[in-house]
Amino acid sequence: MVSIINPVNKKQLHSSNGELKDDEGNSFPVINGVPRFVQDHNYTDNFGFQWNKFQKTQIDRETKNSNFSKDRFFAATEWDKQDLSGMDVLEAGSGAGRFTQVVLDYTKANLYSLDYSDAVSANYRNNAHHGERLKLFQASIYDMPFPDNSFDKVFCFGVLQHTPDFRKSVQCLVDKAKPGGEIVVDFYPIRGWYTKINAKYMLRPFTKKMSHEKLLKKIDRNANRLIKTYYFFDKLKLGMIAHRFLPMCDIKRTLPENLSKEALREWVVLDTFDMFSPAFDNPQRISTVKKWMEESGAEVVFADFVYYADKHRLAVVRGIKK
């Protein structure tokens, strides 16, 4: 079992009257079943907003015949080849709990999951039924409420590019792994000079400053038209133009196949909001993340693209802490 500590003074916390307290009298509230170590309003407000709005969209069990999140998780980690029974696993950046569900449903690990945003409330509603195997926290990746050298496995998916300091975030993940423990991350890759020549990065300076409600309404209002335009270009074999210059997510390269019309629209609205709303979006070269993980004290055992669900691609780096 991993100790829960005050991330400021590193003293152990204990439960008392609906709070977590240390011996010096410092306390942290437990709200909606989740200990809170940060203020609600921070640079991840957009994620708290979107995941409570789209609580079930990316959860496999809520999508008929879908193993999309499961396939992505095990393609990135290869942990389906291991027995994780009794292991302590850290998830940094849980969102609404799409990968939380996978870990708890398909392994026997103990999962310690955190998110900087109030997305943890959605995760709690989705996964609290797993009981004591899930420990959920609202906390910063830079000030996690756990001692260093605590976890057998650490993973962070779809998050690092949205943190203020990508390199420091990698260091914090490695710090929490035990010597010999494994760290796995995926992230948005830089493919070349052309990576940021698309609608996403052209419009983000404006969209990230919009209120979440206004941005979501604008995306929702135009979703049907954008989907029709996307498929029009796709039929003309001009899918790359649609991907680069339409202000929407790339349906064929990012979303599950065989979604119903209603589910497809919901995923498009969610993923497009996810493109345009974050305060930070800093893709990196795989070689750069590999170097940062090595500098953080891990031996990198894999650094490349992996494929899942046939045609979907992830930039993944795996390391073993020295």
Give, for 104, the enclosing helix (H) or strand (E): helix 98-106
CA distance 184 to 174: 10
Encode pLDDT of 174-189 as tens digits: 999 999 999 999 999 9
The answer to whether residue 195 scores a pLDDT higher than 90 is no
Encode pLDDT of 70-86 as tens digits: 999 999 999 999 999 99
The answer to whether residue 241 scores a pLDDT higher than 80 is no
What is the rounded average pLDDT of the residues 30-50? 92
Calculate what percentage of the chain has a pLDDT beyond 70: 100
DSSP-derived pairing of the beta strands 19-21 and 151-157: unpaired
**pLDDT of res. 39:** 83
List domains and CATH numbers for the chain.
14-190+283-321 (3.40.50.150), 199-276 (no CATH)
What is the rounded average pLDDT of the residues 50-56? 96
CA distance 212 to 278: 10
**pLDDT of res. 85:** 96
CA distance 100 to 2: 17
Whether 186 contacts 157, CB under 8 Å: yes
What is the rounded average pLDDT of the residues 216-241? 92
The answer to whether residue 40 scores a pLDDT higher than 80 is no
Range with the poorest average pLDDT among 6-20, 182-196, 271-285: 182-196
Encode pLDDT of 96-106 as tens digits: 999 999 999 99
**pLDDT of res. 240:** 76
**pLDDT of res. 51:** 96
Encode pLDDT of 246-264 as tens digits: 999 999 889 999 899 999 9
Sheet strands side by side (includes 88-92)? 134-138, 110-115, 88-92, 151-157, 177-187, 312-321, 298-308
